[in-house]
Copies of this chain bind each other. A is one copy, B any other.
Amino acid sequence: MGINTVFEALSHPVRRRVLALLKTGPMSAGELAGHFEISRPTLSVHFAKLKDAELVVVERQGTSLIYHLNASILEAALAGLLSLKDDDQ
């Protein structure tokens, strides 16, 4: 959905922390929720933004939804940031 959506998704600390948790491996929504104080519905909306930015991918496993980090989009953001520096050009 574009790099704008990705940077927008990265702008909230809770969402960055979700990504940090997922870097150790896939995790269900409930398992993720255990690491936060905020309500599950609020978290669910954060998940939706990460999914919208394709920073995460979801897979259903029985009644649970398992979230996976999508490293390639994270790399796209990294590349975007890097291009703001004087490395190339």
Contact = CB atoms under 8 A, between A and B. Distances in A.
A71 B83 contact: no
Interface string A5-23: 0011011010010011001
Interface residues of A, number: 25
A20 B83 contact: yes
B78 A74 contact: no
A30 interface: no
A48 interface: no
B8 A11 contact: yes
Contacts of A29: none
A20 B74 contact: no
Given A11-B8, A11-B11, A23 B71 contact: no
